[in-house]
Structure 1
Amino acid sequence: MKRHRFDLFSFLAGGLFTVLAVLYLVASLNHAQVNGRIVVPVTLIVLGAAGLAGAVAAAVARRGRDD
């Protein structure tokens, strides 16, 4: 199998959605509710930060190759 570069954004997005799924699963098993007014903005903030980190990492890697 051919190796590929590590994609930080995809890794963080997958981890975030896994955490959200576990959060909702545990809440449903305990007959509790998850406050969507908190979860949705936090999800968007984390995805935005991950996108920014991925863009910066790509720019740094690109700059290192040009030298």
Structure 2
Amino acid sequence: MKKHRLDVYSLLTGALFTVVAVVYLVASLNDRAVNARIVLPVTFIVLGTAGLAGAVTAMSRRGRSAGEPPADSTD
């Protein structure tokens, strides 16, 4: 089997949705209510932050800064 690199963004996304599901499960078992006005925005904020961090990390691995155009650009 061929090894592949760890995809941190996918791992974080899966873990986050698992945590949200467990929160709803525990709340339903204890006759509590989960305020979706808090859970959903926090989920999207965490996913957006992780996406931005992943993009910055990928750019730094390629050796260019955020303001530089790609090396194969023909301007």
Q: For the superposition of Structure 1 and Structure 2, which TM-score range results when normalised by the shorter chain?
A: 0.7 to 0.9
How far the C-alpha of 1:61 sits from its partner, in A, is 1.4
More helix by share: 1
- Matched AA of 1:38: I
Q: Which structure 1 residue ranges, 4+ long, deviate > 6 Å from structure 2?
A: none
SS in 2 for 1:23: helix
Question: Which residue number corresponds to residue 51 of structure 1?
Answer: 51
* Aligned-CA RMSD value: 1.3
2:61, 2:45 → 1: CA distance? 24
> What is the TM-score of this pair, normalised by structure 2?
0.79
**Greater relative contact order, per chain length (Cα 8 Å cut-off, separation 6+):** 1
Structure 1: 5+ residue stretches without partners: none
> What is the TM-score of this pair, normalised by structure 1?
0.87
1:31, 1:24 → 2: CA distance? 10
Question: Which residue number corresponds to residue 63 of structure 1?
Answer: 63
Q: Deviations for 1:15-62, whole angstroms, at most 9, x for unmatched residues? A: 100100110110010011100000010001000001011111111111
Structure 2: 5+ residue stretches without partners: 65-75
> How many aligned positions are there?
64
